[in-house]
Amino acid sequence: MKIISYNVNGIRAAMKKGFIDWLILEQPDIICVQEIKALQEQIDIEALEKIGYKYNYWYSAQKKGYSGVGIISKQKPNGVFYGTGIPEMDFEGRNLRIDFDQFSLMSLYLPSGTNLDRLEFKLSYMDKFYDYVSSLKKTNPNLIIAGDFNICHKAIDIHDPIRNKNISGFLPVERNWLGKFIELGFLDSFRIFDKSPHKYSWWTYRANARANNKGWRIDYIMLSKSLKNKMKNASILSEVFHSDHCPILIEMQ
């Protein structure tokens, strides 16, 4: 099984840039998307169904053209769960989960801390999400959380750790939270297979950052330790260009 996570920075914009053609070539079984920036009725569902993705689910923000997540699947899940049930988390459409017999898969879009108000919201969201997942793991022990965490975990995950040490996404409080989150019993799937530097999943549009590989690794597929033996591969698809992010991938038995 091939699972991809991708912050598309607007699903409609990505489709205009060849997203469907890329899906035909890549053939993931499931793709989790973030920052869809659309309501379900604005998305070309027919184009996805035509290429085999009959089961697709969307959880949009209340604010139009903002945030939102989706899951696109070839296989029908046992259940679909929209949000967390916590209103102050769910109004921006950041959590969507589907359950199968052997695992549960969540598409996640953690907030960014672009200013003081948003940083406070992000930190509050992180605390609530930690408690939510801690509880969820009791009923769904084989859990995969795929998405944009908006946090670089370690210095190896960012192109300039010194200059960015006071920037949201690499603040000590955020990095410590991600470490604590992993200690709940998760594995950073990419680092199981690749411990090399200069591997990123997001680049600012400014200053030719992507061409110069001045990026951040803020997208993760975290999986419960119970699934480690099922892992075959994990990679970052840095040559895919529909967004300021690139897709990330895991392959499982």
The CA distance from 13 to 175, in Å, is: 31
From the list 66, 174, 52, the residue with the least C-alpha distance to 123 is: 174
DSSP class per residue in 131-177: HHHHHHHHH--SEEEEEE-----SGGGBS-TTTTTTSTTS-HHHHHH
Cα–Cα dist 222/188, whole Å:
5
Report the catalytic residues. Answer: 148
- Give the phi and the psi of residue 45 in degrees, each rounded to 5: -60, -35
The closest alpha carbon to 101, from 75, 77, 73, belongs to 77
